[in-house]
């Protein structure tokens, strides 16, 4: 087992591979490390460049097609052996020289995750920096996980945290939230950031809607993963109660001899009653699914940081 596994996901980065591997080897010369390069469906000469520049510390994991960065990261973690795991971008914008100091912080101060914060970010202001700041502020506010820079790939983990992240879809942007769900202790440090020299960025303004959709999922995970009935049940009972009150009011109006059939309020009352019943039912089904999720895989609803026996 190596001390550190550096996971680098790449897609169409043929020009970046030689200088990237050179930079990693120089920065980590004093560490027992391995580099896991995950090719996420490249159609250029990225794979050939990896093979041409490999050494005994390099592992290539070539995926059959483009699955997305989250899945590629999962593949890299699954094929790694390090006691600690680092995630690094393959576009040379992250600097590998930040890794040794982050690793020392992770080990010596007993953190579970050390996240990078791109202090002097070398990206466009309007298409990258401003949307990123807005997204970061929104994520911090809605999830309660106060990381400055969710978009920085450079992060270090203890292996047990990395293995349980559950990176599905495009959830790599929410890695700190997923780690926090495990009870991880997270800190952040300023890291260097460089402008892209070769290739094209895979990110665009169109990812905003994906981030918003994933953010809703993260809020649910953070607050209601083990108690979905508290969300659906509360909304359902409020809806049902309002519907009953409206219908009682209309019943009184009807008893008093007034016509209620042409009133939109009647439709609203019926929708609220039926919607309330459906939401409560969804809450019950979600609760059963959560129990199945934990019990069928022998998962625990808690995590233990350490166990100290006797005078250890």
Going residue by residue through the chain, which has 312 residues, state the pLDDT in tens, using 9 for 90 and above.
789 999 999 999 999 999 999 999 999 999 999 999 999 888 889 999 999 999 999 999 998 888 888 889 989 998 999 999 999 988 888 899 999 999 999 999 989 999 999 887 766 565 566 777 887 788 888 888 888 888 889 999 999 999 888 887 778 888 899 899 888 999 999 998 887 777 666 555 566 677 777 788 888 888 887 888 998 999 999 999 999 999 999 999 989 888 888 888 999 999 999 999 999 999 999 888 888 877 787 766 555 655 566 655
143: number of Cβ within 10 Å: 21
pTM flag (> 0.75): yes
User: For the chain, how big is the Rg over CA atoms in Å?
Assistant: 25
Domain boundaries, the chain: 4-224, 228-296
- Structure tokens, 32: 């027992």
Name the phi and psi angles at 271, rounded to 5: -60, -40
- Structure tokens, 76: 């890299």
Fold held by 4-224: Spore Coat Polysaccharide Biosynthesis Protein SpsA; Chain A (3.90.550)
Q: How far is Cα 87 from Cα 74, in angstroms, rounded to an integer?
A: 11
Q: Please name which of 240, 221, 192 lies closest in space to residue 290, comparing C-alpha atoms.
A: 221
CA distances from 258 to 25, 244, 255, 263 (A): 84, 19, 7, 11
Q: At what angle do helices 264-296 and 228-255 cross, to 10 degrees?
A: 160
Q: How far is Cα 234 from Cα 228, in angstroms, rounded to an integer?
A: 10
Q: How far is Cα 145 from Cα 139, in angstroms, rounded to an integer?
A: 8
Q: How far is Cα 15 from Cα 91, in angstroms, rounded to an integer?
A: 9
């Amino acid at each position: 087992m190596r001390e550190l596994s550096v996971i680098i996901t790449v897609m169409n980065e043929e020009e970046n591979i030689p200088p990237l591997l050179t930079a990693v080897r120089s920065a980590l010369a004093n560490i027992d490390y391995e580099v896991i390069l995950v090719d996420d469906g490249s159609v250029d000469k990225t794979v050939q460049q990896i093979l041409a520049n490999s050494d005994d510390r390099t592992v290539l994991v070539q995926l059959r097609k483009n699955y997305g960065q989250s899945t590629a990261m999962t593949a890299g973690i699954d094929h790694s052996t390090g006691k600690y795991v680092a995630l690094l971008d393959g576009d040379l914008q992250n600097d590998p020289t930040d890794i040794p100091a982050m690793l020392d912080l992770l080990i010596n101060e007993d953190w579970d995750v050390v996240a990078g914060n791109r202090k002097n970010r070398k990206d466009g202001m309007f298409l990258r920096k401003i949307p990123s700041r807005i997204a970061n502020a929104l994520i911090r506010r809605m999830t309660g996980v106060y990381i400055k820079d969710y978009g920085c790939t450079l992060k270090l983990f203890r292996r047990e945290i990395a293995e349980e992240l559950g990176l599905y879809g495009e959830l790599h942007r929410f890695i700190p939230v997923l780690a926090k769900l495990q009870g991880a202790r997270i800190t952040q440090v300023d890291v260097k950031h460089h402008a892209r020299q070769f290739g094209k960025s895979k990110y665009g303004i169109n990812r905003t809607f994906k981030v918003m959709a994933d953010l809703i999922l993260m809020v649910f995970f953070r607050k209601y993963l083990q108690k979905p009935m508290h969300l659906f049940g509360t909304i359902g009972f409020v809806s049902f109660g309002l519907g009953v009150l409206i219908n009682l009011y209309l019943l009184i109006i009807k008893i008093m001899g007034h016509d209620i059939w042409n009133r939109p309020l009647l439709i609203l009352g019926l929708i609220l009653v039926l919607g309330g019943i459906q939401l409560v039912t969804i809450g019950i089904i979600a609760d059963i699914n959560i129990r199945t999720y934990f019990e069928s895989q022998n998962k625990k609803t808690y995590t233990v940081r350490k166990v100290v026996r006797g005078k250890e």
